Every structure is written in C-alpha cells, then in structure tokens.
A and B are shown apart, each in its own frame.
Chain A
Amino acid sequence: MGNSEYIIEMLNITKEFPGIVANDNVTLQLRKGEIHALLGENGAGKSTLMSILFGLYQPTSGIIKKNGQEVKINNPNDANALNIGMVHQHFKLVECFTVLDNIILGVEPVKGLFLSKKGAREKVMALSDKYGLKVNPDALISDITVGMQQRTEILKMLYRDNEILIFDEPTAVLTPQEIEELIKIMKNLAREGKSILFITHKLNEIMEVADRCTILRKGKYIGTVDIQNTTKEELSKMMVGRSVNFKVDKKPVKPGETVLQIEHMTVPSKLHKNNAVKDVSLQVRRGEIVCIAGIDGNGQTEFVHALTGLEKITGGRILFNGQDISKASIRERSKHGMSHIPEDRHKHGLVLDYTLEQNMVLQRYWQPEFQKYGFIRQGAVREYAQGLIGQYDVRSGQGPITIARSMSGGNQQKAIIAREIDKDPDLLVAVQPTRGLDVGAIEYIHSQLVAQRDKGKAVLLVSLELDEVMNVSDRILVMYEGELVGELDPKTVSVEELGLYMAGAKRDRQSSGIN
C-alpha cells in the first residue's frame, strides 16, 4: 500500500523500562499536511513516544510505518533519512556560531576541502521567505532572541528537507507575541504540505492550531479526537481523567500588614558588568499574592537569590517582618519564616540522590523534632514524610524511600511544595512553581498558593507564564532588565498590555516607588 492516508503511523507501540511501562500499546497516526497535537500529563509518555519516533529509543514491541511501509528507526540519522526532524524543548544550537552555520552544521556543503556557504545561504533565505521565518543568517546565536533561535531550529529542519516536523513544547519559552507568530508559522508549514507533531500540555494552543489531537494518560492511549468537534474541557478530562477547573477560585483580596519590604535592592550580575537587579523596591503584605512577571533572564533569578540569601546584595536593604535581614544567612531567613520554592528543582530544590523522606526534611533535619544529640530520628522522619506524602498526594514508586531522581517532575515539585508550605511560613517565595507541569498539577499548585494567601500568608510569585500571572496574582509587578517597570492590576489589565510591559515597550515610571 504505497499511497496510505497517513505519512507516519506508530502502531501498538509498547516501551518498557525497568520497573515502568512508559508506553503501553500506543497508536499514533499522522496525516500528511496536518497539525497533530500530542497531549498528556507529565510522565504520560509523550517524550518517550517521540524519542522512539526520532530513533533515540527502540520500542519493546509495535511497528512504525512511513507511507504505509514498515520502517526501522535505529538512531536519529535514520530518522533524518526518513525526513523526520525535531525541535527540542531545549534548543540544540552552538552559541558561538552564526545562524547560518548552525543550520548547515552536519550537512555542510563543500567544494573540495572548503566550505561553500553561498548556495546554502540562498537556500536558507528562500526557505525563510517562503515560510515567513525571519532570521538574520549572520547573527550569532548568543546575540539573538529565543524566538529567533527557535526559528533557526525550524529552518534547520526545513534545510534538511524534513517532511515530518516534531515540536517539543515549543511555546514554553516564548512571549505572547512570539507564540502568536509561531502559530502562524506552524499553520503556514502545514499549508505547504509539512506534517507537524506538536507536543504540549497547553490546551489553548491546541484549540487554536491543531487539526487533531492524540491523548495519552499514564502511558496508555486514550484516544484521538478532531479538534473541531471537541472542547477544552473535554480534552482536559481525557488527559487527566477527571474534570479540571481552569479558573482559580479566589476570594477578594484582603491585604494585612506588610511582611516583606524591599528598599532599593541592587544585585550584581554574574554574566556581565551591569547590575542584574537595579534599585528594586517593593512590598508584600499578608493575604496577597504579588506576582513578578517578566521574560526569562530579566533579573528575576538574581532577585530571588538575593531575597532568599543565595546571593549577596550590593545596595539597598530587605526588611522581613520589620527586621533587617539583608545580611542574614539562608538558615536564619528560613528560621524567620521564609519559604522558597526554587526555580530549578533539580539544582536547588532536591538532592536527587537522596530518598524522598530525606528530601522532605532538607530544610528542618536540624530541628529537635527530627534529631536528638545530633542523631537523626529515623522514625520521626519517616512518619513526617509519610504524612506529607499522604496530605499532598506525592506519588512515587516506593513511598518515603524512593530515590528522588526516579520520581516524575510533577511529583518532585509536589514534594518541594509540600515541604515548603508545611514550614508554615510568613512569606512564601514561589518561583515558576508550575514549570513543566500538567494541568492537573497546575490546578493543584495554584489552589495551594491561594490557600496560603487566604490563611494570611504573604505570597511572592515569580512567573513567566501569562495565564498564571493573570489568574493567580492579586498584584502584578513587571520586571524588565532588572527594573520594575510597571505595577498592574490583573483584573483590569489585558494580556496584550502585559506583554508590552514584559517586552520593554511600555513602562510606568523611572524608578519603582514603594507602593
């Protein structure tokens, strides 16, 4: 059957890892020229399935067909030969090469012993025009925006004449404007006959761009639906297995006394000579969620590190419950009632080689509750961990003695959140608490943040996700190039306007005053 309806078929794919079945009899059929979304929670097996298609893993059983013919994909080179290309979530670009060099890397056109880039440049420019992928071929990757880096990745696939394009969570790193542009590009590509597989867990984007959607849950195939005949609610129900509440339920805000007051904070940058955080002043009160919005890399990380004590400040001061903690150690800040859900759960949040229970007491193993004369009270730790696991529904293979590394991202994050919230802090600093998590987990974490707020805690949320910023916060502060450029009310501001502030196109005042 040479002229099959489907360009790629993955039939009854099963992939077992020791102790886990990542894909259990999954079938995925991609039509020529369609945009096909692959939807599922974290750990549902999306990445495994795509890695199989891209030749990184071999399926335990099941077959892959291209144009109706069975094929074997043993490595990414095979995939490439079958015209399958992939844009990874974390781009695979050489930072110090130009856009053009990155595109031709691996398939360099040569004349004798020398590179001949002229033909390549023409081909790239032609592709760039055809699909509306604006890039500057001579710019260095390290100098261009994330959006342009992504377009470079797409051009890389097109340059290799790939017909099947896999996008692994392509919108996670983009601003709203860039997302819109990407969606346009994807539709364009599909119109020109490319077939697109689009991995995501953002339902809005699926509704907007996809033709069909295949849903996985816990490694199992749930179904494939036409987007025209479905709704967001239905999709999320298929993905999570129950109905999900998208709107965060919140009572009106009732701010109390000030918990955190930052005055003219300045933090030097490790990357360049300028300060990463410039003269930032803000206040967080009890019973409110203040959100710092901004595009990644505008000083949020340094700001949080300085606030929690991981980095030193060079100017200004931090008042916490009226006390100056500018020079206090991390442990002292923690003791005073500051909790920190870190941005990078693998780097800071967890000791991955420790067990779950050891991680649960990472911030408080020294408290009398858990130690006696310097000896860890193993029983107390176990009991405490079991309590938190039950209360916060942290799922893992072996309960408290599971090695943290073997847990799924969502459950790792839940463990951190359980640990930090259970400290009963006055101030909860949550940095991108839902990064990379699925709808069910996001809903849960948002409700926890709101619950903390309603209990009269101060919550400082740092987020790159616009939905999160708009839904959860009571007050938005926009950070751009280390400065606070605007204070907005989520009830009155539009997403577009927020995007303009984040991109630096709009700002309120020169220096952010204390409100």
Chain B
Amino acid sequence: MGVENATKKNKRIDLSSGVLSVAASLICILIGLLVGFIILCCINGEYAADGFSRIIKGGFYLMPKGIGTVLSQTAPLIMTGLSVAFAFKTGLFNIGAAGQYTVGALGALYFALILQMPWYVCLLAAMVFGAVWGAIPGIFKAYFNVNEVITAIMFNWIGLYAVNEIIYKGVLGSMYDLKTTKTYTLRGSAPQAVIPDMGLNAVFNTKSTTIAIFIAIVIAVLVYIIINKTTFGYELKACGHNKDAARYAGINEKKNIVLSMTIAGALSGIGAGLYYLSGVAEWNPQVSTALPAMGFNGIPVALLALSNPVGVIFAALFVSHITVGGGYLPTKYFQPEIADVIIAVIIYLCAFVSLFKGVVVEAVVKRRKKKAQTAPDGKEADE
C-alpha cells in the first residue's frame, strides 16, 4: 500500500467514528420503536397510533408534570448506569447494581430517619453503604478468583432480604410505619433530609423533582474525567482491555478490580440516595421481594451508551422518557410494560451495534466512491 494513500483513507473513516457510534445507537432506537409500534398494532390496532404517540411524547405528554417526573427518574438511573459502565471499563460486569442500590437505600434512610442528618450526609452514607456492598464481589474476584457475576447476584438477594429484615424488625431503630407498611415519609419525619428542589417542584408542579438530576450530571462528568484523564482511569482501562499487559506494566490489577467494584457500588449507592431522599419514595419491606428495577435498568443504560459516561446521561434520559410515556398508555387497552418491551428490543439490537457501524461505513464509503468517480465530470459531483 502506498503509505500516503493509506493515511488519507484512515483519516476519512476516523473522522466519523465518534459520529458512527451515535448513529448506530440511533438506528437501534429507531428499530426498537418500530417493533414497539408493531406490538401495539397486534394488541389493539385501533388505538395503536394514539398509544404510540404517547410513548414517543413521554414526559411531554403531560406538561409540565411529566417532564418533572422524567427528570426525577433520570437522576438515579444515571447513577446505576454509571455504576455498570464504570465496571465495564475495567472488564467487569456489575450485575450487582441492584443490590448496591438496595443497601445504599438503607444507608440513606437510616441516616435520615434515625440519625436525623441533613440530606448531603445521608447521600454520603448511601454512597458508603453501596461502596461496601460493591467491594465484596470485587474482593472475591481479585483474591479468590470467583466470578463477580455470581457473587454479585448472590449479594443482590442477601442485600435485599437483609435490608427488608433490618427495616421491618427495627434493628437499627424504628423506621417502619405500621400504618402505611412503609418507612416513615421523609417530609413528615425528617424534612431536613429531603434534597432541596430550588423551586423545581413549583416549576414542574411535582413533588419529586429535586436538584438530584444536576448532582447526577456532575457526577457523570466527573466519572468521565476520571476514566479518560487520570492515571487511575488509565490503569483501570488497561486492566479491562488486557489484564496480562497491565500486570506486565507493574499495575496492581487486584487492587484495581476491588477499587473499580467499590466505586461502581458507590455510584449505585448514590443513585439510591438520590431516589429515596427525593421526598416521595419510601421503602416497603413487605412488598419489596423483588430487587429494585432501577438497579437492573442501569445495565441497558450502560449498554445503550456504549459505556461512555456522558452517553449514560442521554441514555438514561431516553429510557426514563419512554418509561414515563409507557405510564400514560390507556390501561384499558395496553399495559405500561410495552415501554419495557421497546427498551428490551433496543438493548437486544445494541448487540449488533458494530454490525450497524459496518453498514454505515459501507454506505459512506460507497457514496464517496461514487462521488470520486463522478468527480472528474465536475458538475455532477456537487449535486
């Protein structure tokens, strides 16, 4: 190959490589929506168009309340998405986000209801609780070579039932309100622990919209900086890409595995804090026999964002957008879980992202070739 020729070509393709990822994700989303529409048609053709438009509109369907709801749901989702994405960067699959989220919730509620701490202390407590729960699978992986997926799944359930038991039996003190069968409301028992809303609730006419969304965005940017700009991020990624080379370079990969899982846990914990300190959410130890969906939804968010922390913000926004939209479906004809189906299809398609990238590249290259061929004629190329 002529060297000059090759570099020119490389440059051209590279130019669009960032754009490509976004384009591929968008293709996934479009196909996912299309499949959702087809399902709606199958269930009830008459109302399919109406239902579909509600999903697409999402929060915008019910202004301004819907938007407030989307924003308040996005904040914790960004955090669990970051949690999964961060572990991915180190080559770990943090399926334990749900458990870390659960334990983080306990931390937040305990510091709020029993210790009567201000909201930021509660948030830190949630972070520490989540971090501890994340560190355990990390330690098992690093020092006993136990697959983190197995340990994390176990600790999801251990965490869930332990938290239920602790809250229900009042091990740490009385958090449980017999009348509502939930934990005491923050607004009633610990108003100091509610995250300030800076007037957002008034704007959106909601109770749950706080500055949590901004906290989450700031943390996402911080995570981006840590991963891409620091030596710590450099080490983590090296371990994720090639464990052997990292070891060869003198990087302590065991320490990094534990740290990575700890940070992933901390991020999930903060997510729980942002949710349970919003002032409208309580833990229900009797009904909560399923792990919080927020934890698992972090996985599709991270996948859709291709593990890019900034991408996580938008992916989380999108997922909450259509989830909220699904909630506005007329329940007479449709189940709100249609939104989950759409998300599932999109995530499934994410596995083909590289395939879509290939398609896009080919299309671009073909068009360029055509251009190049017609170029000598001059005028045609410009059209």
A residues neighboring B (CB under 8 Å): 18-22, 24, 218-219, 308, 310, 329-331, 334, 340, 342, 347-354, 358, 362-363, 365-366, 371, 374-376, 378, 395, 397-398
Contacts and interface: CB of A to CB of B under 8 A. Distances in A.
B247 A310 contact: yes
Given A330-B247, A362-B249, A354 B13 contact: no
Given A219-B1, A330-B248, A351-B238, 15 more contacts: A18-B365, A19-B6, A21-B6, A218-B1, A347-B244, A348-B245, A348-B248, A349-B245, A351-B237, A351-B241, A353-B241, A362-B249, A375-B229, A375-B231, A398-B14
A308 to B, nearest CB: 8
Given A18-B13, A18-B361, A376 B234 contact: yes
Given A19-B6, A398-B14, A331 B1 contact: no
Interface string B227-256: 001111010011001101111111110000
A376 B226 CA distance: 10
B20 to A, nearest CB: 12
A310 B250 CA distance: 9
Interface string B1-27: 111011101110110000000000000
B69 to A, nearest CB: 38
Given A21-B6, A374-B231, A376-B231, A354 B241 contact: yes
A34 B247 CA distance: 49
Contact of A397 (B2, B10, B231): B10
Contacts of A376: 229-231, 234
Contact of A350 (B237, B245, B361): B245
Given A351-B242, A375-B230, A398-B7, A21 B1 contact: yes
A22 B229 CA distance: 36
Interface residues of B, number: 31
A350 B244 CA distance: 9
Interface of B is mostly: helix
Nearest to B365: A18
A22 B2 CA distance: 10
B9 A20 contact: yes
A374 to B, nearest CB: 5
Contacts of A354: 237-238, 241
A397 B251 CA distance: 29
- Give the one of A19, A340, A342, A365 with max B CB within 10 A: A19
Contact of B248 (A329, A340, A374): A340
A21 B5 CA distance: 9
Nearest to A402: B10
9 contacts: A18-B9, A18-B13, A310-B248, A330-B249, A331-B250, A349-B245, A376-B234, A398-B10, A398-B14
B374 to A, nearest CB: 20
Interface string B247-277: 1111110000000000000000000000000
Contacts of A342: 248
Nearest to B228: A376
A347 to B, nearest CB: 5
B10 A19 contact: yes
A340 B248 CA distance: 9
Nearest to A309: B250
Contact of B250 (A330, A347, A353, A371): A330
B248 to A, nearest CB: 4
B331 to A, nearest CB: 47
Nearest to B245: A351
Interface string B334-353: 00000000000000000000
A219 B244 CA distance: 33
A20 B230 contact: no
B164 to A, nearest CB: 40
- Give the one of B9, B10, B229, B234 with max A CB within 10 A: B234
Given A354-B238, A375-B229, A398-B11, A347 B245 contact: yes
A342 B247 CA distance: 12
B70 to A, nearest CB: 34
A19 B14 CA distance: 10
B13 A19 contact: yes
Nearest to A344: B244
A333 B11 CA distance: 40
- Give the one of B229, B230, B241, B247 with max A CB within 10 A: B241
- Give the one of B231, B234, B241, B249 with max A CB within 10 A: B249
B6 A20 contact: yes
Nearest to A347: B244
B9 A19 contact: yes
Contacts of A22: 1
Contacts of A374: 230-232
A353 B243 CA distance: 12
Interface in B192-245: 229-232, 234, 237-238, 241-242, 244-245
Contacts of A395: 3
